[in-house]
Amino acid sequence: MKIFGVVGWKNGGKTGLMERLVADITARGIRVSTIKHAHHSFDVDHPGKDSYRHRTAGAVEVLVASEERFALMRELRGAPEPSLDDLLAKLAPVDLVLIEGYKRDAHPKIETHRRDTGASLIAPEDPSVRAVAADIPLDLHVPVFDLNHTKAIADFILSEVGL
């Protein structure tokens, strides 16, 4: 599987770009999966639901399945957070995995940047950042795309990974 990341600081446009990239790339007939890193506690389950009750009762894993999808939740219960490689190994084979976050890992990435965030750029210090998608013109050593020009960004990513 080919992998490519989308990184940046909070409110920099990562999730919106990820959503648009998945739509654009899958419309080309390329199978895409995603991984999203969260720096905070999150829950995909809801209090009162059977699966939530199983998990909070102490189950290590709860798998919920229907005719449309299944979801596997694993409680770490103090174990270390899995590495990106560990998570990638759990995915079914696809053409491309887009990864939101994991900015410190070495896989190739595009950085999102919005002027309003006031955040510094990651690209000048990180050789794994192959391009920047921004809402302002930037003079950098890597290609810079308009944050809203999804097709050009998708073309760049697909070229970078050889698809």
DSSP states along 27-83: HTT--EEEEE--SS---SS-TTSHHHHHHHHT-SEEEEE-SS-EEEEE--TTSPPPP
Q: CA 9, CA 156: separation in Å to the nearest integer?
A: 21
C-alpha distances (whole Å) from 84 to each of 8, 90, 91, 100, 148 are 17, 10, 11, 11, 27
Query: What is the domain partition of the chain in residue ranges?
Result: 2-40+80-161
42-51 burial: b if 16+ Cβ within 10 Å, else e: eeebeeeeeb
- Top CATH class, 2-40+80-161: alpha beta
Antiparallel, parallel or unpaired: β 61-65 and 70-74: antiparallel
SS3 89: helix
64-105 confidence digits (pLDDT tens): 999 999 989 898 988 999 999 999 999 999 999 999 999 999
Q: Write out the chain's pLDDT in tens, 163 residues.
A: 999 999 999 999 999 999 999 999 999 999 999 999 987 777 778 888 899 899 889 989 899 999 999 989 898 988 999 999 999 999 999 999 999 999 999 999 999 999 999 999 999 999 999 999 999 999 999 999 999 999 999 999 999 999 9
- Within its chain, how far is the Cα of 59 from the centroid? 27
Q: CA 157, CA 30: separation in Å to the nearest integer?
A: 12
Whether the CB-CB separation of 10 and 117 falls below 8 Å is answered with: yes
C-alpha distances (whole Å) from 61 to each of 57, 71, 163 are 11, 10, 35
